[in-house]
Amino acid sequence: MTIPAGMLLDRAGNELPLAELAAQWPLGGWTSVSPVPGGKNEHFRVAAADGIYYLRRSHRLKPRDELLRQLSLMRLLRHRGFPAPDVVPSRTGAGHAELSGRWWIATRCIEGKPFDGGSQAHVRGLGRTLARYHSVVADQPAAVAEPAVLTELRNRVAARDTDPGLRARAELILERLAVLLPELPRVVVHGGARRGSLVFDGDDVVGVLDFDSAHADVRVLDLAVAVHDVGKVYTRPGDPDNKVALDLGRVTELLAAYSRELQPTAGELEALPLLLQAKRLKRGLGRRNRALDGDNLSANDYGKILLEDQRLAWLDEHHDALAAACRKGVSWPE
């Protein structure tokens, strides 16, 4: 077994336990290891004699039972033919290992290309794959009273002296969604159905990543996440309208591909724009509450607050058009 020479640091500047990791997952001998940017977890690409692998270190607050549920979900998906990552057992035979109080897992690399933002075929691929995922997990227990985003929004509104306009906005959204909740199907949602979670071979999805946010919730939450991610209109970094508007044609395309595999309910289509608003409010209030608690917010924090306010304004102005784009994508049965 070989270990790459030199030192590799984590985001906090601390040395990573490469020798201990290589002992847990020998992989025929490591030849190189390098960090992969992005995400709240830390990922590392390992080239080894047995192939290419990815190591993931979960964030500090990750409970073990939550990690075990996600590993179990990934194994179930692969057993049923869904292209989830293949979890590599550690030296002990477990799907995870603990080092210095942090959880690690290893998965085999899925070869392919990332999402192409200019490809309508890739937008359709996300829609089809999300519908397939929901079908595959439809028989899994997923009892939940309401989406976590609503619970968090309610708590953030109640926790501080919230701006009256934002409070009224949040209370209206919560009230409207409360009416719809009894009719919204529950599943174990992926939780991060975004472009970065897909691996493509041409126009075909060959891998779905990032199950770290999987949890029981309303099924339409995944659609709301996907709609916002692939619908975002990018202008130029620093422009006031960058990532504010949604491309309604792409929204329709995504939902059309989804509905050809799995039919959304009328309640889900009504709830989708409301969930988009709830997520924007929750994020904006989170940073505002930090400021009320005395945190010294950065310029980036204030920029994020402004961005969420602009997104809310856009969703207000285009609510009817967005709802129509969602309905347009769905082929209702005769």
Residue whose entry in the numeric block shows the structure tokens 């409070």: 167
Domain for residue 4, yes or no? no
pLDDT (tens place) for every residue of the chain, 334 residues total: 445 545 788 877 888 899 999 999 999 999 999 999 877 789 999 999 999 999 999 988 889 999 999 999 999 999 999 999 999 999 999 999 999 889 999 999 999 999 999 999 999 999 999 999 999 999 999 999 899 999 999 999 988 788 899 999 999 999 999 999 999 999 999 999 999 999 999 999 999 999 999 999 999 999 999 999 999 999 998 898 999 999 999 999 999 999 999 999 999 999 999 999 999 999 999 999 999 899 999 999 999 999 999 999 999 999 999 999 999 988 655 4
CB atoms within 10 A of CB 86: 15
Per the structure, the count of domains in the chain is 2
CATH (domain of 45)? 3.30.200.20
d(CA 194, CA 183): 25
What is the Cα–Cα distance from 309 to 316, expressed in whole angstroms? 11
Instruction: Please report whether residue 8 resides in a domain.
Output: no
- How many Cα atoms occupy the beta-carbon half-sphere of 14 within 13 Å? 5
Shared domain for 95 and 137, answered yes or no, is no
**Which domain, by its residues, includes 96?**
18-63+84-108
Kindly state whether residue 69 falls inside one of the protein's structural domains. Answer: no
* Residue 229 included in any domain: yes
Name the pTM for this structure: 0.93
Strands, E, within the chain: which ranges? 30-36, 42-48, 51-57, 97-99, 102-108, 186-189, 198-201, 204-208, 215-218
Tokens matching residue 303: 């920029």
Looking at the fold, whether 175 and 256 belong to one and the same domain comes out as yes
141 and 184 share one domain: yes
Helix or strand or coil: residue 191? coil
